[in-house]
Amino acid sequence: MIKLFSDTKIAELLGLLNASKKIAIVTHVNPDGDAIGSVIGWSNFLRTIGFHSVIIVPNHFPDFLKWINGTENIYVGFNQKDTCARLLREADLLFCLDFNKLSRLDAMGEYIMTLDIKKVLIDHHIGVEEKDFNLTFSKTPISSTCEIVYRIIWQITKKKHVSPQIAEALYAGIMTDTGAFTHSCSSELFRIVADLMECGIDREKIHSAVYNSFSVNRMRLMGYCITKMEVLPEYHTAYIMLTKEELERFEFEPGDTEGFVNIPLSINGIILSVLFTESKEGYIKLSLRSVGDFSVDEMARKYFNGGGHRNASGGKSFVSLNETVMFFKKILGELKIGSEIS
């Protein structure tokens, strides 16, 4: 396997670990499969080399990730604000996984900025905010943070094998961030998957736990989204809007809309899909997906306070749902998206 990071960087990481007394691991708001898989995998790995750590996430993560061994010990800032603040204050080394700037942790990120704590980033998103971290392990072409974690473990231990628990968590993150191995997959990634299989994971079980665990409400919400979807053929674009009331009607749980934004991309000719969701916090959450060269990262960064990857990004809008969609349509007109293929 090709080394992703220099030996000097790995030595720096080990130096920070050896100098640390208390370690915490955090990931982004609305944690997804890669976020949860990577924090669990990394925390378990640290334990195998003698370092105890606590995992803290800003808010709830989806039920379809709760089968992952170790998720029961995750602290959720939304529920346990004081405990999480104390754990962060007590830590002297913080691992930041699957996000590129502290603002991706909302209020928790602001709190972390006030602390005197060494911060190590492990991530694969475009546009790292270098000033937020002391040491960064970031590679944007890599499929997932879980893949990066596996490759760091391999560089540290010089071994291909990890425990079945670590393998299972990392596989779950790789699987979800690649859309079940449809994008961002290098030949190297499949070699890693082969290694993980040899560590004793049950691929069918993991796939089923993540993808075949819909509640009836979630399935009906998916059908509703497809019916409600608006298509703008002239812009090769489709979008779905969900209000707070609609989410309540389907008894929305965190993660229920995961993957829905990809559905319109199955329509012939659609190269941009956006899901607009009214969040409990009062802003509009955007999920953006594209096919080919059109960069939703650029779109999210320029217009929607967000970013991510070229073909999968997220963002926020602080005006109403209708105003957000109107603004979005105006941008489409200006960008002339898809004009080169029409």
Residues at the contact surface with Mn ion, assessed by CB under 5 A: 34, 98, 145, 177
Our finding on whether 307 is near ligand 5GP (CB under 6 A) is yes
| # of chain residues touching ligand 5GP (CB under 6 A) | 14
Tokens found for residue 280: 């409990």
Binding marks (x or -) toward ligand 5GP, 115..134, rule CB under 6 A? ----------x---------
In 124-179 the beta strands, taken as DSSP E runs, fall at 135-138
- Which residue has 């546009």 as its token pair? 127
- 308 binds, options ligand 5GP, Mn ion, none, Cβ within 5 to 8 A by partner type: ligand 5GP
- 67-106 residues in contact with ligand 5GP (CB under 6 A) are 104
Our finding on whether 313 is near ligand 5GP (CB under 6 A) is yes
In angstroms, what is the minimal distance from the CB of 317 to ligand 5GP? 10
- 143 binds, options Mn ion, ligand 5GP, none, Cβ within 5 to 8 A by partner type: none
- 27-56 residues in contact with ligand 5GP (CB under 6 A) are 28, 32
CB contact set of 340 (below 8 Å; sequence gap of 6+): none
Residue 312: name the closest of 291, 283, 326, 336 by CA. 291
What residues pair up with 114 in beta bridges, in sequence order? Answer: none
Q: For 20-67, where are the alpha helices, taking DSSP H only?
A: 33-48
Q: 113 and 42 in contact (C-beta within 8 Å)?
A: no
Cα 158 from Cα 324, distance rounded (Å): 50
Cα 74 from Cα 63, distance rounded (Å): 13
Task: Please give the residue whose beta carbon sits closest to Mn ion in the complex.
Answer: 34
Of the candidate residues 31, 58, 70, 308, the single one contacting ligand 5GP (CB under 6 A): 308
Cα 138 from Cα 278, distance rounded (Å): 31
Q: 109 and 94 in contact (C-beta within 8 Å)?
A: no
Q: Please provide the distance, in angstroms rounded to a whole number, between the alpha carbons at the two ends of the chain.
A: 42
Looking at 88-96, 224-232, 306-314, 331-339, which segment touches ligand 5GP (CB under 6 A)? 306-314
Nearer to ligand 5GP, 27 or 43 (CB): 27
- 218 binds, options Mn ion, ligand 5GP, none, Cβ within 5 to 8 A by partner type: none
Give CA separation, 16 vs 50, 118, 151, 159, in Å. 14, 8, 19, 22
Our finding on whether 255 is near ligand 5GP (CB under 6 A) is no
In angstroms, what is the minimal distance from the CB of 313 to ligand 5GP? 4
CB contact set of 195 (below 8 Å; sequence gap of 6+): 150, 160, 161
Looking at 41-49, 160-168, 202-210, 310-318, which segment touches ligand 5GP (CB under 6 A)? 310-318
Looking at 134-142, 224-232, 309-317, 324-332, which segment touches ligand 5GP (CB under 6 A)? 309-317
Cα 308 from Cα 295, distance rounded (Å): 10
In angstroms, what is the minimal distance from the CB of 124 to ligand 5GP? 8
Residues at the site binding ligand 5GP, with contacts judged by CB under 6 A: 28, 32, 104, 125, 287, 306-309, 312-316
